Amino acid sequence: MPETVKGVGGMLLGRLVRKGGHFAVSLALVGVLVAAGATLGQGLSSGVVVAAGGTGTDSGTGSISVVGQATIKARPDTVTLTLGVEAQAGGAAEAVSQCSMAMNRVINALVNAGVPRADIKTSNLSLWPQYDYSELGEAPRLVGYRASNLVTCSWNQLDKIGELIDKAVQAGANTLHGLSFSLADSRALYLQAVGDAVRDARAKADALAAAAGVRVGDVRNLSLDTFFSGPIVVREGLRADAGAAAPPVEPGQVEMQVTVAVEYGID
């Protein structure tokens, strides 16, 4: 007659079958063990993974995978500004001419305010026809042309950016397409964030290993991901107004996020 053996608190059930004077455990027990291992792994954080290999008697066959993160903030020292001029006229040449003359005045205003000419570049030129669609049933009627010219400039006097915008508007700029703040040299900040992220990963691995009763081994794999906060963008139309005050601009802080994924061995 077959004999039945219960183990692991009575939860795992196998069947012993006598074959040639020896007992063999049926494969049903193996399936139960696999299912039990999957259940035990469900309580781990998504940022922490433990992979244990071997039979439990071999050392150095498991691993701990963790994600370390660090966020560093700093006050920016550079602003990048994109502004432009739009002009409309009955003919294409006239629209381009009006737009060009206004942009020359804007560029001169930027240079006179202290922006190096080498830090001013044209970022877009466009010309498109304007049609009248008001008459139903009739083909669109060409009524003129609109020209646009955009320049992008970088400046390090953040406390005067509002005044710079005001001077550009007074000179003829009537569109503002974006403001972004950054660091001219972010290397030191970046390396600090990398180090903090790696230390965060090690702290998580140590805590996990201590709770599991093992020791953190050597690094097996290491990867790095960096994220800079997106630019602060302002999109609005501007119109020159001699009585208007300079727009207030607050640079705030730029943010750098670094994430490292580290896999450690288990001793």
pLDDT means over runs of 10, the chain (267 residues): 39 37 37 34 41 43 92 90 96 97 97 95 96 87 96 93 93 91 87 94 96 94 75 39 64 87 94
Residue 85 has phi, psi (to 5 degrees) of -130, 135
pLDDT at 224 (0 to 100): 92
| Domain residue ranges in the chain | 1-43, 48-75+183-231+253-267, 78-182
Question: In the structure encoding, which two tokens stand for residue 137, read together?
Answer: 């049933």
- Decide if domain 78-182 falls under CATH 3.90.1300.10: no
Q: What is the pTM assigned to this prediction?
A: 0.59
User: What is the C-alpha end-to-end distance of the chain, expressed in Å?
Assistant: 45
* 202 within 8 A of 216, measured Cβ to Cβ: yes
Helix H or strand E segment including 93: helix 92-112
pLDDT at 230 (0 to 100): 44
pLDDT at 227 (0 to 100): 66
- CATH classification code of 48-75+183-231+253-267: 3.30.110.170
